[in-house]
Amino acid sequence: MGLNLAWRLLSLALLLLCWQIASTASGGNNLPAPWEVLQRIGQEARSGALVHHMAITLGRVVAAFVIAMALGSAIGYAMGRNLLADRLGDPWLVLLLNLPALVIIVLAYIWIGLNEVAAIGAVALNKLPNAIVSLREGAKALDPQYDELAEVFSLPAWTRLRHILAPQLAPYFAASARSGLSLVWKIVLVVELMGRSNGIGFQMNVAFQLFDMTLLLAYALPFVGVMLAIEFLLVQPFERRVSRWRPRAA
């Protein structure tokens, strides 16, 4: 573990070194040095702007993620358990899976307007089909033996959900949540860039208009850092927790 961490830190240090060299070689206009970006992050943080935009973007990420996972789980479960629902829903699902994110975003802004509902809805709709596919697989893999167990002991619906369904679906949910989170935060930036007047994506747009590379990196890097922290501190521990009961592979 300690050695692993040491290698990671070394790798990170190498990246910073390459960045510094590239920055010096290019004269610093197109690629500001790490130190300059860090100073700018400090400035933006002190003025409160960084936290403000970050909080707004995170709020959108959470809202879109929750909506997509909740709807996706319900629809995926229904399709996995019910053949009719699967047959009717599958072509829609294939269509949605292959619809480019940009198309959904533009349509949402045109049809619903340049507002929060359209922004969050478009992001959620982009994630929705992946969640459905994953949970549908989970629902198809449910072991009928445990349904019979619930049947003969007349377990109430809540008990079935909590002790029989949820533990079997959790690995599928966790996998979907993990891939979903990274998809959602990337698309949120695009949505903000195209039609919102705040958030990290909006700041990217400002930086792009001004060709301000330092500003761009000063917003992009802390945001990536926060998303990585969520991945390591929330999503991965959740994944480990739900598969705790499985015997360890030797």
Partner 1 sequence: MRLEVAIEAKAFRSPSGGLHQALGRLAFGVPEGEVAAIVGPSGCGKTTLMRLIAGLDRDYDGRVTLRPGDRLGVAFQEPRLLPWRTAEDNVRIAAPNATEAALGVLFQRFGLSEHRRHLPGELSLGLARRVSLARALAVEPDLLLLDEPFASLDGATRASLVEAVAEIVACRGMATLLITHDIDAAIRLADTIYALSPRPATIVRRVRIDAPRSRMSPQAAAALAREIGAPP
**Distance of alpha carbon 222 from alpha carbon 66, whole angstroms:** 23
**Distance of alpha carbon 183 from alpha carbon 160, whole angstroms:** 31
| Nearest distance in Å: CB 151, partner 1 | 6
19/146 with CB nearer partner 1: 146
101/242 with CB nearer partner 1: 242
Question: Which one-letter amino acid corresponds to residue 21?
Answer: I
| Nearest distance in Å: CB 213, partner 1 | 50
107/155 with CB nearer partner 1: 155
Environment class of 103 (CB within 10 Å of its CB; exposed 0-12, middle 13-18, buried 19+) = exposed
Binding region for partner 1 (CB under 8 A): 145-146, 148-149, 151-155, 159, 163-164, 167, 245-247
155/230 with CB nearer partner 1: 155
Nearest C-alpha neighbor of 138 from the set 90, 80, 194, 193: 80
**Distance of alpha carbon 43 from alpha carbon 56, whole angstroms:** 19
| Nearest distance in Å: CB 169, partner 1 | 11
| Nearest distance in Å: CB 246, partner 1 | 8
| Nearest distance in Å: CB 143, partner 1 | 9
Return the DSSP state at 29.
S
Contact 118, 109 (CB under 8 A): yes
